[in-house]
């Protein structure tokens, strides 16, 4: 089967120029098809089923369910996201729970997934005024972690997936408080450490398993104002996208020492994904996906660019 990626972004009704969810064959960057959808700014795949989930980032947020195969995704169902302006979703490793973060009102919703990949029961967790839930990550410890950019916190929920039953409830110890003014946006886990990108203070911070801060570094060496977006850990490196400098920074996973900082191949890198020896960057303001070759883990210059309207998420099939 050809290597495929799905691209989501903002559509005209949500302030962008995209047309929906685009399926792309990666080898030749060939467009396989487009499925109309409103503001599918973030996407997630089911770990076992040929199912794709997409937020609809609008005031009355939605979650869409799509079947994937050859060509464009096929719509199966849609339901409310449980809040306003959903911007991220994630499926737990068992494939029985879907978490959605609603940036607009800070609400987090957790949806049960049935055996066909459709959504059934839902647990909704509103939060205080000024909250902006941004990313959800299922931990191996049975905890759902949610970055809150507005509250400078990582919120925690107890979750239980699996065929025997599933559910979600607030964590008895409450949220983890991070550095004031940091604006935690996205995070990544490696071993016993968490790496968090601060959108508001332009940092990458590392925490131990007890959420004690053990290191920090500027996400970019550029003097431009920086709003880091996505962060990933891969192959002994930490990668972070810098909006403003329009770069991808690479740090040592072990020491957090800067290794490289390279142009992202466009403007306003909202999201990226690493697949094999390629790094795919969704450059929101230059209407394209930049494909950077990785050499010994370092993105190389002169990327190939796939033109697409206002991309905000790129999701290669595993």
What lies within 8 Å, CB to CB, of 103 at 6+ separation is 57, 84, 85, 86, 87, 132, 133, 134, 149
Does 164 have pLDDT greater than 70?
Answer: no
Distance, in Å, from the CA atom of 43 to the CA atom of 47, rounded to the nearest integer, reads 13
pLDDT, average across residues 141-160: 96
Phi-psi region of 82 (alpha: psi -120 to 50; beta: other; left: phi over 0): left
Q: What is the pLDDT of residue 279?
A: 98
CA–centroid distance for 85 within its chain = 14
Q: What is the pLDDT of residue 127?
A: 87
pLDDT band per the 50, 70, 90 thresholds, residue 294: very high
The share of the chain scoring above pLDDT 90, in percent, equals 94
Q: Residue 12: phi, psi to the nearest 5? A: -55, -35
Q: What is the pLDDT of residue 87?
A: 99
Q: What is the pLDDT of residue 163?
A: 59
Q: What is the pLDDT of residue 165?
A: 56
Task: Map tokens 């199966």 to a residue.
Answer: 76
CB 215 within 8 A of CB 203: no
Does 23 have pLDDT greater than 60?
Answer: yes
Distance, in Å, from the CA atom of 145 to the CA atom of 153, rounded to the nearest integer, reads 10
Q: What is the pLDDT of residue 318?
A: 85
268 or 163, greater pLDDT: 268
pLDDT, average across residues 112-134: 95
Distance, in Å, from the CA atom of 293 to the CA atom of 304, rounded to the nearest integer, reads 9
Mean pLDDT of the chain: 96
Q: What is the pLDDT of residue 204?
A: 99
Tell me the β-bridge partners of 254.
Answer: none
CB 154 within 8 A of CB 145: yes
pLDDT band per the 50, 70, 90 thresholds, residue 34: very high
Does 36 have pLDDT greater than 50?
Answer: yes
The domain ranges of the chain are 41-177
What lies within 8 Å, CB to CB, of 311 at 6+ separation is 7, 8, 9, 18, 270, 271, 282, 283, 284, 287, 288, 289
Distance, in Å, from the CA atom of 220 to the CA atom of 236, rounded to the nearest integer, reads 19
Q: Residue 284: phi, psi to the nearest 5? A: -60, -45
Does 162 have pLDDT greater than 70?
Answer: no
Lowest mean pLDDT among 58-67, 79-88, 155-164, 181-190: 155-164
pLDDT, average across residues 176-196: 98
Segment 68-117, tens digit of pLDDT = 998 999 999 999 999 999 999 999 999 999 999 999 999 999 999 999 99
Q: What is the pLDDT of residue 178?
A: 98
**CA 201-205-210 angle, 5° bins:** 130
CB-neighbour burial class of residue 33 (10 A; exposed 0-12, middle 13-18, buried 19+): middle
Among candidate residues 271, 180, 279, 283, the one with its CA nearest the CA of residue 229: 271
Length of the chain: 318
Does 230 have pLDDT greater than 70?
Answer: yes
Does 25 have pLDDT greater than 80?
Answer: yes
pLDDT, average across residues 36-42: 99
Task: Map tokens 């390629």 to a residue.
Answer: 278
pLDDT, average across residues 151-164: 85
Does 1 have pLDDT greater than 50?
Answer: no
Put simply, whether the predicted model's pTM sits higher than 0.95 gets the answer: yes
pLDDT, average across residues 282-288: 99
User: What is the maximum span of the chain, computed from C-alpha positions, in angstroms?
Assistant: 53
Secondary structure letter of residue 130 according to DSSP: T
Q: What is the pLDDT of residue 206?
A: 98
Q: What is the pLDDT of residue 166?
A: 66
- Structure token digits, residue 229: 């977006």
CB 3 within 8 A of CB 316: yes
Q: Which CATH number fits domain 41-177: 3.40.109.10, 2.130.10.10, 1.10.730.10, 3.40.50.150?
A: 2.130.10.10
């Amino acid at each position: 089967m050809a290597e495929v990626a799905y691209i989501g972004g903002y559509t005209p009704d949500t302030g962008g120029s995209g047309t929906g969810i685009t399926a792309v064959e990666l080898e030749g960057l060939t467009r396989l098809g487009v499925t109309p959808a409103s503001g599918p700014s973030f996407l997630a795949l089911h770990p076992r089923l040929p199912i794709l989930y997409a937020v609809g980032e609008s005031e009355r947020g939605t979650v869409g369910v799509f079947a994937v195969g050859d060509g464009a995704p096929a719509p199966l169902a849609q339901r409310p996201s449980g809040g306003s302006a959903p911007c991220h979703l994630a499926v737990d490793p068992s494939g029985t729970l879907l978490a959605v973060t609603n940036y607009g009102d800070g609400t987090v919703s957790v949806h049960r997934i049935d055996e066909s990949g459709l959504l059934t029961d839902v647990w909704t967790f509103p939060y205080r005024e000024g909250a902006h839930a941004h990313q959800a990550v299922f931990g191996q410890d049975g905890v759902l972690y949610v970055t809150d950019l507005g509250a400078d916190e990582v919120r925690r929920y107890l979750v239980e997936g699996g065929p025997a039953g599933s559910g979600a409830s607030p964590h008895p110890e409450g949220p983890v408080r991070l550095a004031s003014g940091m604006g935690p946006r996205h995070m990544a886990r490696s071993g016993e450490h968490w790496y968090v990108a601060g959108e508001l203070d332009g940092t990458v911070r590392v925490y131990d398993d007890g959420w004690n801060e053990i290191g920090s570094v500027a996400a970019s060496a550029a003097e431009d104002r920086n709003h880091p977006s996505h962060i990933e850990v891969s192959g002994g490196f930490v990668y972070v996208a810098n909006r403003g400098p329009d770069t991808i920074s690479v740090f040592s996973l072990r020491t957090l020492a800067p290794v490289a900082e390279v142009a992202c191949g466009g403007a306003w890198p909202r999201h990226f994904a690493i697949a094999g020896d390629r790094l795919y960057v969704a450059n929101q303001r230059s209407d394209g996906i930049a494909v950077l070759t990785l050499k010994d883990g370092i993105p190389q210059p002169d990327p190939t660019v796939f033109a697409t309207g206002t991309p905000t998420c790129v999701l290669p099939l595993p």
